[in-house]
Structure 1
């Protein structure tokens, strides 16, 4: 049975998939299994918007860091070390 917030169980999905899909076209629908949220159904436009706004940062190493960024990083570490040493008695 649907809750007011558009949440359905996996059993509901099996029995009323057409109604649930129609609702998911209007707004995201949560599917629960054993009373725990497991899935979200949403329309393709919302999905694409979310994918487009996803954080695309990637991890790297100092070896792969651009030279100008490495220089800024080294300067910041050096400035921090100097300020830390100056603050010690």
Structure 2
């Protein structure tokens, strides 16, 4: 039996895989082991959306910024510093 809506134990998965898969096609389903979340089953569209979103979050450094972006960043930092300095006077 399901622990709560959308959450099943690993033993539920072996006994009711068809029902769990059907639910996972509609919304993400958590699989628990010893009452701790261990896996999430989700449909391919949700998975692909997550992959697309994570690809947009590429990590960069100042050294990898374009000159244009670095100039914009620098001007924003300088404006913030000027405002902070004016607030202290």
Matched positions, count: 88
User: Which has the larger Rg?
Assistant: 1
RMSD: 2.1
Cα distance in 2 for partners of 1:88, 1:64 equals 34
User: Any stretches of 5+ residues in structure 1 without a counterpart?
Assistant: none
TM-score by length of 1: 0.75
For residue 20 of structure 1, report the CA deviation from its aligned partner.
2.4
Superposed, 1:64-83 pairs within 5 Å as: 64-83=64-83
User: Any stretches of 5+ residues in structure 2 without a counterpart?
Assistant: none
Partner of 2:13 in structure 1? Answer: 13
The ranges of structure 1 where at least 4 consecutive aligned residues each deviate by more than 4 angstroms after the TM superposition are none
For residue 4 of structure 1, report the CA deviation from its aligned partner.
5.3
TM-score by length of 2: 0.75
Partner of 1:30 in structure 2? Answer: 30
With over 3 angstroms needed to count, the CA separation of the structure-2 counterparts of 1:82 and 1:6, relative to structure 1, is closer
